[in-house]
Amino acid sequence: MPEETSTFLDILIVIGIAAGVFLAAKLILRIGCHHLEKVSKRTETIIDDQLLVALRNTKTLLLALFAVWMGTEWLELGRAEKWLDRGGFFVVVLQAGIWATSFLVGFIIFYGKKRSATGESGAGILWFSYLARVVVWSIAFLLIVSNLGYDVTALIAGLGIGGIAIGLAVQSILGDLFASLSIVLDKPFEVGDFIIVGDLLGVVEKIGIKTTRVRSLSGEQLVFSNNDLTSSRIRNFKRMYERRVVFGFGVIYQTTPDQLESIPGMVKSFIEEQEQTRFDRAHFKGFGESSYDFEVVYYVLDPDYNLYMNIQQAVNLAMVRAFAEHEIEFAYPTRTLYLSKSEEEESLDPAES
């Protein structure tokens, strides 16, 4: 057979194999996607849904390149065959990385939104999505480098030393990054929570990779470093299910024993008249500098601050009216001075002269 005819026939065979592999792969993908779509509708698990998303993310160009590589296996290309095999391996690893990234990121997004009470889990999704991509493509990169014949062990050691140097240079930034991850995992607060950090307070608006932003009651935005937040004592009022209220007052020392004995019962009735309250105790606590002191404890069964203030105001007004009716006076700071004259002053008193 003439050489030109043989070469032309080889080319036709390569094209035929490539076309056959391409069409077969497309058919297998189509059947697989159709089957997974049916399965995903019958199950509640997210795994089959994400597998379906990953398979649909198959790149036609990469599939075509894979088919061409399979076709060239028919040919005897000598040294060029080695580089074609490396190219085919690169295509396979690249597509596998796309599948893995698509599956893992979709999985992270689904569970991130599911676990977030507010429907927003931006910082967590961003963190874990980035981490998943780094892991997948790092593995892909090492596989490709290894396939090219380089020593992966030496490369990993070099990257480790370089990573330590970079880590020392950006220590504060990395501290905030890991603090952000800690906030996402531990969830001391979420977007929408009302928190107090030191003497600053407000509603959490955004949890970022480096900072967390809080809208204060006076309107300005407070920006906290995530590292500072994780090392601070945070009071989260959004997770308060009921509010414990402690307040005290005093009455004057001229109050009679019977009046003193009636005060706890009166205050108890005023609190129990209010909705969404649970009375705990009211006691004659002790003796102040200018008053008989009382202490009262009750619970508001809702964390809303405005509701608490409305209830406390109603209780205070009821106490003022009842005390006025029973002639009980609230105490206020007073001092009684007793003046006495010395014997010399008494002897000089004109009234006795």
* Res. 74 pLDDT band, cuts 50 70 90: low
Rounded CA separation 83/81 (Å): 5
pTM value?
Answer: 0.52
Provide the β-strand partners of residue 295.
248, 283
**Residues 213-237: what's their mean pLDDT?**
89
- Looking at residue 259, what is its pLDDT? 95
CA distance 317 to 247: 14
Q: For tokens 């490539």, name the residue.
A: 18
Average pLDDT over residues 26-50: 82
φ, ψ at 5 (rounded to 5°):
-65, -40
What H or E segment, with its residue span, contains residue 271? helix 257-272
> Dihedral of CA 249/254/255/257: which sign?
positive
Q: By the 8 A CB rule, do 176 and 209 touch?
A: yes
Residue 333 has, within 13 A of its CA and on its CB side, a CA count of 0
pLDDT at residue 280 greater than cutoff 90 = yes
**In whole angstroms, what is the distance from residue 292 CA to residue 255 CA?**
8
Q: Please, which pLDDT band fits residue 317 given cuts at 50, 70 and 90? A: very high
pLDDT of the residue at 36:
82
Tokens of 32: 């697989």
What average pLDDT does this structure show over 302-331? 94
Nearest in space to 295 (alpha carbons), one of 245, 256, 331: 245
**Cα–Cα–Cα angle for 298, 287, 255, rounded to 5 degrees:** 85
Band the pLDDT of 1: cuts 50, 70, 90: very low
Question: pLDDT digit string (tens) for 236-258?
Answer: 988 888 999 999 999 999 999 99
Give the DSSP letter of residue 65.
H
Domains and CATH numbers, the chain: 3-169 (no CATH), 186-239 (2.30.30.60), 243-325 (3.30.70.100)
pLDDT of 301 > 90? The answer is: yes
pLDDT at position 209:
77
Question: How far apart, in whole angstroms, are the C-alpha atoms of residue 310 and residue 308?
Answer: 5
Cβ–Cβ under 8 Å, residues 169 and 214: no
Choice among 119-123, 176-180, 253-257 with the minimum mean pLDDT: 119-123
Q: What is the mean pLDDT of residues 267-284?
A: 95
Distance CA 326, CA 216 (A): 44
Q: Please report the pLDDT score of residue 119 as a whole number.
A: 44
> Average pLDDT for residues 268-291, to the nearest whole number?
94
Residue 25 has pLDDT above 50, yes or no: yes
Give the chain's mean pLDDT. Answer: 81
Confidence of residue 207 (pLDDT cuts 50, 70, 90): confident
Helix (H, G, I), strand (E, B) or coil at 105: helix
Q: What is the mean pLDDT of residues 296-302?
A: 95
Given this model, what pLDDT does residue 162 score? 57
Q: What is the pLDDT of residue 99?
A: 87
Lowest mean pLDDT among 15-19, 273-277, 322-326: 15-19
Say if CB 245 and CB 299 are below 8 A apart.
yes
* 3-state DSSP of 285-346: EEECCCCEEEEEEEEECCCCHHHHHHHHHHHHHHHHHHHHHCCCCECCCCCCCCCCCCHHHH
